Structure 1
């Protein structure tokens, strides 16, 4: 007690000083209320914008790792380093990329799911989005930029109209409470008048958003078409690389969804942020910035909780699109191979494959729906009910608390203030909720962005000759692996020459380790060998479709080769288009060609009647079904004569025509100066070729001159000997029968014992 009595004066002094400081602070606050409110308002708006940006902006560490990876790639690509140094640099690059991916996934990977890299709103997403934005918005004066400016103008107009409508709503309710008929009718008239610009603004916002999405899609689709349909990239994606299995799905569907999502994200992010700033600024003037900041802190805390509980919808969207593509690809594969499946009666197995792809998609979609149930409950509970109750508290503050600078007034004034503030707060809460929802939409955009970026990255990689293909087991041997790591040279030349060139399939199967031969203009080469020995691989290297893994290939440019397969390709279009493909009619006219000249070519091949039969040059059909196999092969020959290339690659292209038509084709092609490289086992073609390249199927080959007469004579002799050898078993059987008969006769005539022989002699005597 004595101690307490000695401390009491000190405690009283502290209380007095605290009260004095509090009183002076309160007086200072009242005197500088306007300035404090301004500072708090500016700070609040800065906080809202900054927190939103930090929520969407990724960490910088990943960007640094990505920059390091790019620098390593540039160093590895430079020609100033040895192979060993390049290898070490590339290994370091792969390690850096792996570390970056692991950092990006850092503890967020779902246990047991491991279906690949997780798609998130991170540095990788923003880097991909930046690249795509350069494509869809090429410049500040582009059509897309003008549409965005117009769209932004109407977004601001809608916010201004909403602010006016909130104030007008309070005035109408106030006049109703005060029973002022004239002011009420005036308010209703203004309400109807403001409806005209409001409805026009809302309609224009939807229209411009759709136009922006369409413009984005057009820009991106045009860019993808330019890349996909040049340098045979469409072939490389499907045959030399395994990363993109369904390019059609990506081009036709995913690009459209990316464009729509990107257009919506701009509206769903910029407009809510603007609304939050303007609505809350007006609210701070009505109810005080202090209360608004306190409520906002609570809202931000609950928003952080909601964001932490939000599932990775971006990953789910990307996975859904992948499964959609696989399901569609299964149907496309069935259509492409429908004849073979029908002949094998394999529809039951194909049905299982298609249904497995479909139910994988349905299982994933159902899983997303189940996840959305719990997420939707948490989201609505926080956004609608928790934030709604906080909003009621904010709107009631001017009624129960005297706020400097805010007039209290009578019942009508308080009602007007409450209704106005309530409407402003609902709009602000809705805007803030849309900011929260926009993170989910941004996550879905990240999924579409990843899909489209993967397509562009893969196309760029295959154009540079960097393929990723599942290799056969033999590719893992040290010798074959060394072949696959190498790269050869392609030199433009009027002749065709292979110098120590390995023949390798895209899956890493080394068919021939080193091949060397040379064909000059005017010479014809016959290529023979068993299936899978490398004949088609040789043609694909000549056509520039497959990479050269070593040695040197000297050949004309790819446009001077023409390919005639066993099953000719028929395009969509007229009968004339089938002959001049891939030229258009205008290109044909530019070359000085006429329909009469095309008809002369058909006469040479004895197929000119087809023009009249099909209804003229401009007739359009599904030519794949309208023409017979022989007609299609002769149309392909006419196509060869029209283009007159330097070299023609003929792959069993005369299998459905007569020997007479075959002779006409080869004679006329020789007359036109076309050098032919033919794959065929028909002996009738030997006389048209000067050289033969024969594969044995074991990795060996023979290249030599072809003496057709001698080879035909040997072939005839071989057939005669084979015919005679077929009779050998019969002759052997007859010989065995005669030998057995002779043996039996001798045994019968031979005496069986001396007594028997003596008795036989006595009987004869």
Structure 2
């Protein structure tokens, strides 16, 4: 748990420390207040039953008169404790969630993390669910432990004073056990706690396995929803049903292991529950029958014994929750370790890192670049190339030659390898993937993503839509919709080109950015690189016919056993293709 607490305890030392300490002090004050009122109610019980035993009506009503004040004080202190506890939980979770989510999202770790571990870690569920399950019970456990310690010490003193010592004859010798009720409460709690620990110890690993299976099952269902159209088109329902059933089978098996172990623990807890109210009565009964204590003292001792017992068997009552909490903490801890491993680049033993820098001449310099997969297989070996300012370069090669990996390395998403990559200083770079990301929000925000705050006129946006064959979407700029599902693959790629016109970047890096378009639409959009975006440096991956006519140079990746080799040659443009590329697409046909 060291990694978890190292980052979680920053709540009390970082920017939130004033709020954290204020809430902590408030919780401690209300714990003390609640304990004090509990002692008051315990004393009230003695006075009340003593008055009943004496049949003193005046004393009875006098004691009853104090009850409303005690009840109000107890209720207010307990309510204040609940509110302060919940505020502490919410604020602590907010701080830890912000730290982990920020860490995960920054520097594309959410993407690169998938290459670090071979198993599905489901980091989104660990941040959303396990952080909550690690923080909320922890606050309750801390309050419970503090309350238990204060309660045990306070009511043990009452037992010491009221119950006194036990005296009995053993072989003609009088044996005296001082404060026997307090000793009995401690001994009983030790036996019960030890029994709960021995029977419940295996539960921690079983709950951790159950939570892992639940997270993977949710991830499987999310994958099904995100790929619903593709699955429906190829009629993969039966296969997906079998896959979901198999995944839930693992969840069920994990749950059954937890249930079996909880059944054993329940046997211990229920036995303790049956003995709990009886033991103090049996222990104090001889003194009452001998006349050494009054009925009020009996009730006070029983209540005090129960309070001490409840405090000391806190571990027994909370063992199952402790196991669940520990499992969640372990999952958060694993995420922290994986993020740290990602930062120090420990994906492969002995690996070197790609050096990223800036160039002064406006060109992109790739020097002795070697890229490898996580299994150590070299994809590209010792590649050296210079892409000049404003040059349009097409990267081709057979499947598996490393084209997309090269694009990822230029984006800084694939730092595992060796060599260096230098990009021009102060230049804006835009990446256009095969499946552009469309965020939630109105269509205007989709077009301006990832910088929705940049000042862009309505005319500029509409002109970009018209040029990219999306004029019919101009009337929906202020509409909110799930654009990721509403727009087709071709429309999404047109949106990506409209973004380029609006944002006007200096360097454009594309990966199969026109794969969903027909040839005429592709020619029209690639014509932007001869017109409105002629100043931009373009690096694109593609294999469709006609792409060469919109580029100045072609780099071919040739697969070899030791890694793909780069070869480069200049290419020319067909005048007919160039003329066609400058003509807008037929918007009626597009619509």
Normalising by the smaller structure, the TM-score range is 0.7 to 0.9
> Deviation string for 1:244-265 (max 9, x for gaps)?
5211211211111112111111
- Indicate the residue corresponding to 1:693 in structure 2: 555
Q: What are structure 1's unaligned runs of at least 5 residues? A: 1-124, 403-407, 469-480, 714-765
In the TM superposition, what whole-angstrom CA distance separates every residue of 1:356-406 from its partner, at most 9, and x where no partner exists? 221221222222222222222223324651x5554235434644679xxxx
- Give the secondary-structure state (helix, strand or coil) at the position aligned to 1:153: helix
Shift of 1:546: 0.5
Q: Match for residue 387 of structure 2? A: 519
**Could you say which structure has the higher helix fraction?**
1
Contact 1:692 1:704 in 2 (8 A): yes
Q: Contact between 2:381 and 2:565, CA under 8 Å: does it hold in 1?
A: no
* 1:105-127 per-position Cα deviation (integer Å, ceiling 9, x unaligned): xxxxxxxxxxxxxxxxxxxx356
- Report the equivalent of 1:42: none
SS in 1 for 2:47: helix
- Whether 1:325 aligns to 2:215 is yes
Q: Return closer, same or farther for 1:447/1:130 CA change in 2, 3 Å cut-off.
A: same
Report the counterpart of residue 580 of structure 2 in structure 1. Answer: none
Bigger drift between 413-422 and 301-310 goes to 301-310
Aligned to 2:41: 165
Deviation at 1:140, TM superposition (A): 8.6
Q: 2 CA distance for matches of 1:168 and 1:653? A: 79
Partner of 2:345: 465
Structure 2: which 5+ residue stretches go unaligned?
165-177, 578-591
8 A Cα contact 2:193 2:313, kept in partner:
no
Q: Which residue in the other structure is 1:666 paired with?
A: 529
1:505·1:537 contact (CA, 8 Å) conserved in 2?
A: no
2:491 to 628, 631, 645: 631
Structure 1 window deviating more from structure 2 (138-147 vs 342-351): it is: 138-147
Residue number in structure 2 paired with 1:268: 144
Q: TM-score, normalised by structure 2?
A: 0.86
- SS of 2:508's equivalent in the other structure is strand
CA offsets per residue over residues 406-433 of structure 1, 9 Å max, x none? xx4xxxx611211111111122212222
1:605 and 1:130, CA in 2 relative to 1: closer, same or farther beyond 3 A? Answer: closer
Match of 1:419 in 2: 299
Whether contact under 8 Å (1:496, 1:553) holds in the other structure is yes
The equivalent residue for 1:489 is 355
Deviation at 1:643, TM superposition (A): 2.1
Aligned to 2:314: 434
What SS class does the counterpart of residue 490 from structure 1 fall into? strand
Residues 275, 431 of structure 1: 8 Å contact kept: yes
Q: Which of 184, 203, 207 in structure 2 is aligned with 1:295?
A: 184
User: Is residue 495–residue 519 contact of structure 1 (8 Å, CA) maintained in 2?
Assistant: yes
**Higher alpha-carbon deviation: 599-608 or 520-529:** 599-608
Q: What pairs with 1:342-353 in structure 2 (closer than 5 Å)?
A: 342-353=232-243
For the residues of structure 1 that align with 2:94 and 2:16, how far apart are their CA atoms?
Answer: 17
The DSSP-based 3-state class of the residue aligned with 1:457 is: helix
> For residues 662 and 130 of structure 1, do their structure 2 counterparts lie closer, same or farther at Cα, with a shift above 3 Å needed?
closer
CA–CA distance in 2 between the matches of 1:597 and 1:711? 29
Q: How many Å apart are 1:239 and its aligned residue?
A: 4.0
Structure 1 residues 269 and 127: alpha-carbon distance in aligned structure 2, compared to 1, 3 A threshold: farther
Q: Note the 1:98-177 alignment, pairs <5 A.
A: 125=1, 128-135=4-11, 138=14, 141-177=17-53
SS in 2 for 1:171: helix
Q: Distance in 2 between matches of 1:416 and 1:293?
A: 18
Rounded Cα–Cα distance in structure 1 between residues aligned with 2:316 and 2:421: 59
Task: Say what the alpha-carbon RMSD is for the aligned residues.
Answer: 2.8
Shift of 1:235: 0.6
- 1:101: which partner in 2? none
Q: Which residue of 2 aligns with 1:551?
A: 419
1:444 maps to 2:324: yes
For residues 185-205 of structure 1, what are the alpha-carbon distances to aligned partners after superposition, in whole Å with 9 as ceiling and x for unaligned?
222222233211222222222
1:455 aligns to 2:335 (yes or no): yes
Say if 1:244 and 1:458, in contact at 8 Å, map to a contact too.
no
Q: Secondary structure at the match of 2:294?
A: helix
Q: 2:369 aligns to what SS in structure 1?
A: strand
Alpha-carbon shift at residue 575 of structure 1 (Å): 1.8
Distance verdict in 2 for CA 1:447–1:556, change over 3 Å: farther
Q: Following superposition of structure 1 onto structure 2, how do residues 160-559 of structure 1 map, counting pairs within 5 Å? A: 160-242=36-118, 244-288=120-164, 289-292=178-181, 294-296=183-185, 298-299=187-188, 301-303=190-192, 305-306=194-195, 307-382=197-272, 384-385=274-275, 388-396=277-285, 398-399=287-288, 408=292, 414-438=294-318, 440-467=320-347, 485-493=351-359, 494-556=362-424
Q: Distance in 1 between matches of 2:375 and 2:85?
A: 46
| Alpha-carbon spacing, 1:503–1:180, altered in 2? closer, same or farther (3 Å) | same
The 2-side partners of 1:297 and 1:201 are apart by 28
1:588 and 2:457 aligned:
no
Maintained 8 Å contact 2:364/2:424: yes
Q: Distance in 2 between matches of 1:276 and 1:325?
A: 40
Per the TM alignment, residue 153 of structure 1 is displaced from its structure 2 partner at its CA by: 1.6
Distance between the aligned counterparts of 1:298 and 1:634, measured in 2? 75
Q: 1:294 to 1:575 in 2, by over 3 A?
A: closer
| Aligned counterparts of 2:229 and 2:427: Cα–Cα separation in 1 | 33
C-alpha separation between the residues in 2 aligned to 1:509 and 1:336? 31
Match of 2:537 in 1: 675
Match for residue 704 of structure 1?
A: 568
Residue 620 of structure 1 deviates from its aligned partner by: 1.7
Structure having the higher strand fraction is 2
> Which structure has the greater CA radius of gyration?
1
Between 1:683-692 and 1:223-232, the stretch displaced more is 683-692
Q: Conserved in 1, the CA contact under 8 Å of 2:392 and 2:552?
A: yes
Contact preservation (8 Å) 1:605, 1:665: no
Q: Which has the higher contact order (CA 8 A, sep 6+)?
A: 2
Question: Which residue of structure 1 aligns with residue 175 of structure 2?
Answer: none
Residues 677 and 486 (structure 1), Cα distance of their counterparts in 2 relative to 1, 3 Å cut: same
Q: CA deviation at 1:516?
A: 1.5
Residue 133 of structure 1: CA displacement? Answer: 2.0
SS in structure 1 of the partner of residue 370 of structure 2: strand
Whether the 8 Å CA contact 1:302–1:382 is kept in 2: the answer is no
